[in-house]
Amino acid sequence: MDVLLDFFNLLDSFLGSAAWFPYVLLGVGIFFTIYLKFPQIRYFNHAWRVVSGKYDKKDDPGDTTHFQALTTALSGTVGTGNIAGVALAIFLGGPAALFWMWATAFFGMTTKFVEVTLSHKYREKTADGTMAGGPMYYMDKRLNMKWLAVIFAIATVISSFGTGSLPQSNGIATSMEATFGISPHIMGGILAILLGLVILGGIKRIAQVTSKIVPFMAVVYLIGAFAVIFANIENIGPSFIAVFTDAFTGSAAAGGFLGATFAYAFNRGVNRGLFSNEAGQGSAPIAHASAKTKEPVSEGMVSILEPFIDTIIICTITGLVILSSGVWNQKHVNVFDRSDMMIVQGQYSEKVPEDVNALFSYLNKIDDSSITKYTGEISVVNGVSVSSGYTFLNARSIAENVRYYVGDVTDPFTGTINVENGEIARSNIIVQGESLVHSAPLTTIAFTKGYFGEYGQYIVSIGLLLFAFSTAIAWSYYGDRAMTYLLGPKSVMPYRVVYCAGFYWAAVSDTTLVWALSAVAIVLMTLPNLFGIVVLHKEMKETVSEYWNKINS
């Protein structure tokens, strides 16, 4: 697992976490926003009229209504990114990360409008009578770049696991185990079976299920979120101020949070924003290709609503819950993931400014030489260390009240623990203590700080279950359309079997490894798609003009 994590992190350092990637992603959105004269604002009301069915015609080609296409695409985006992804962004970059998620969503509304329109324009009917579309079709049929279409389709299959199956399953299993004590093995097995029952029915059954799940899960989640926000209403103003004031400076150290630079907050905010709304990734056009309409632009209009609903509304609410409750920079008792742990040479304290500055520089990769990873032995008696000369870091914070166990947290360890280059050598040592937490557990804790008290955690668990499961459903469709393009309809069933098996595997895997894989898979789809829509920018503008000429006449 450690080798895989290092490999994925290495790839991500050249891709999604590289300094250039956020600028490319935002740059394309900004370009089209200016080029098309702010369509996310000018066409916003028209988009609602389209999705309401005002322009629907029963004899138009397609498999689903505009609303069903929207909910299917939303089910693909509204998932762990809205619950765990926002928490991860704030954990990494502080309040400033939320601002850059907003920016990604605003310009992403235009990006999605473009990619959906162009993909819908070049969709085609498959041998089984259903519609198939997506960026691979305009790359093949319009750009005559079959090689690029193949790369995108392969990346889509990989990303269906890295975005749709693995992180969603992992998020569900982590939350359900923490809240209800359900074994990840049991949860993963049950959900893998349910997933198979849904996706075997194809797009029509998928659309029927998601059109019912998405509205229901949104209502449940919002009730729980506002119960926290109203209970901490006095912190909403300071939270908004922190988001805006930190946006261009980075977030300073506060509580257990050791601070984040502007560059780090910017990168993590844009990266998590993309994971949440998928604007530019090229996934949503696959769902929208099934919509009943002869007008590609009308379906592009519908897609404008996705980043608005997904990120500007739902992610903002999640962010305000986390910030206003104050849990984001507080330490909480938790069992440490090995991938989050690090032991460094010397003793550091959050009360010493020099120590905080040194750790800040190290964690934000300003000066990697300021901290040395610890190698040596730790003597433990009844679970408690009696050694000194080192500092235990977990989840980018100084861990406190650390306890060591063997196998599980009921068997305290006594003996000597060998540490090599900052990592505990023995794989059966379980470490528990107080530190910052991230992803779904952080959001779960935040939801307990409202009017529902401890019962708030159940809302997160139920919301995460519905959000993530619906995302997995939608992404199975993206993957099978890509398989259809690559190998034909006969390849779909084997793909679905492997997809469901992956859903089970991820439930019992390490959280950080799953997020690292998804980060790489996302970029492998995004870059070819951004290249393709930029090349077709003139055609996009002409297609929009033709659409309005028809509407006005």
- Among the listed residues 360, 321, 338, 522, the one whose alpha carbon sits nearest the alpha carbon of residue 440: 321
- 93: which 2 tokens? 């970059």
Classify residue 447 by its DSSP letter.
G
Classify residue 57 by its DSSP letter.
-
The phi, psi pair for 204, rounded to 5°, reads -65, -40
Are 106 and 490 spatial neighbours (Cβ–Cβ below 8 Å)? Answer: no
∠257-105-29 over CA atoms, to 5°?
120
Say what the pLDDT of residue 260 is: 87
- 28: which 2 tokens? 């394309």
Strand, helix or coil for residue 133 = coil
- 382: which 2 tokens? 């009844």
Distance CA(514)–CA(280), nearest Å, equals 21
- 166: which 2 tokens? 């693995």
Over residues 237-247, the pLDDT tens digits come to 999 999 999 98
- 292: which 2 tokens? 């009943």
Say what the pLDDT of residue 92 is: 87
- Dihedral sign, Cα of residue 349, residue 351, residue 353, residue 357: positive
Torsion on CA atoms 68, 74, 76, 82, rounded to nearest 10: -160
Are 60 and 293 spatial neighbours (Cβ–Cβ below 8 Å)? Answer: yes
Q: What is the largest CA-CA distance in the chain?
A: 83
C-alpha distances (whole Å) from 140 to each of 146, 152, 286, 450, 478 are 5, 11, 15, 52, 17
Output helix, strand, coil percentages for the chain, rounded to the nearest 5. Answer: 65, 10, 20
Torsion on CA atoms 547, 115, 314, 249, rounded to nearest 10: -120
pTM for the model stands at 0.82
Give the DSSP H or E segment for 247.
Answer: none
Neighbour-count burial of 150, counting CB atoms closer than 10 A to its CB (0-12 exposed, 13-18 middle, 19+ buried):
middle
Give the DSSP H or E segment for 420.
Answer: strand 415-420
∠61-137-50 over CA atoms, to 5°?
40
Say what the pLDDT of residue 174 is: 76
Distance CA(463)–CA(179), nearest Å, equals 12
Say what the pLDDT of residue 191 is: 87
Over residues 408-466, the pLDDT tens digits come to 888 999 999 999 999 999 889 999 999 999 888 899 899 999 999 999 988 888 887 88
Residue burial 498-509, b: 16+ Cβ < 10 Å; e: rest: ebbebbbbbbeb
Residue burial 1-31, b: 16+ Cβ < 10 Å; e: rest: eeeebeebbebbeebbbeeebbebbbebbbb
Q: Please list, in sequence order, all residues whose beta carbon lies within 8 angstroms of the beta carbon of residue 458, skipping any fewer than 6 positions away.
A: 179
Give the chain's residues under pLDDT 50.
Answer: none
